[in-house]
Amino acid sequence: MRDFEKRVSREFNSRFLKYGAQPKSSLWFSKERQILRFDLIISFMKKNGADKHFTVSDIGCGYGGFLERLMVNLKHQEFSYCGFDIAKNPIEYCNKNFVQKDAKFYCRSLPIQMADYSVMSGTFNYAPDLSVNDWKNYLFEKLTSIWNFTQRSMIFNLMISNEAKITSQDISYIEKETVFNFCQKYFGHTQHYYSPKLPKEITFCVSR
């Protein structure tokens, strides 16, 4: 899958150079919808035991939008944050523009240390040049690796359809039951949340 990740990296580097630190660079076309996704993730974190200080791995962090939302909702001393992304340009932006002591950014696809919460917002939506089966294998392989670096909960969103598919725009969709059953069988207690404001996606939370 190295060639696939290289293709994704090139696309997001290019989009960041074109659009800068805004949702379009991460293939999100609405700031309001992006904030809603982030708030759903944060609500799961709070329900699943976020206490006075916790650690977060943000996989597919882009230009740091989720960190910005965490800082709106929580005091900075309440958490430590690591962001990971395979695109170099947004990571360089984050390292220059986020100067918080407990925020670090790395250009890589997987975490390098355990965290209480592993979060992924839109991380697996873009699937250029992959078949549906190859994308599913990639998704479940990455979730398995990230789960091994998760102390408390793994929270992520996916585009959902009655049948798995990849559109002509290279956006991936999967059946809700397929993801739920996999996570429940191999990881831990799995919850999911649907918002009518985000009618084509589901947020999953898997907890130990």
For residue range 138-190, list pLDDT tens digits in order. Answer: 999 999 999 999 999 999 999 999 999 999 999 999 999 999 999 999 999 99
Percent residues over pLDDT 90 in the chain: 79
> Which residue ranges make up each domain of the chain?
2-207
In contact, 81 and 59? CB cutoff 8 Å:
no
The strand order across the sheet containing 54-59 reads 103-107, 79-85, 54-59, 115-120, 150-159, 201-207, 189-193
Nearest to 207 by CA among 186, 189, 180, 195: 189
User: Whole-model pTM?
Assistant: 0.95
Provide the CATH number for the domain formed by 2-207 in this structure.
3.40.50.150
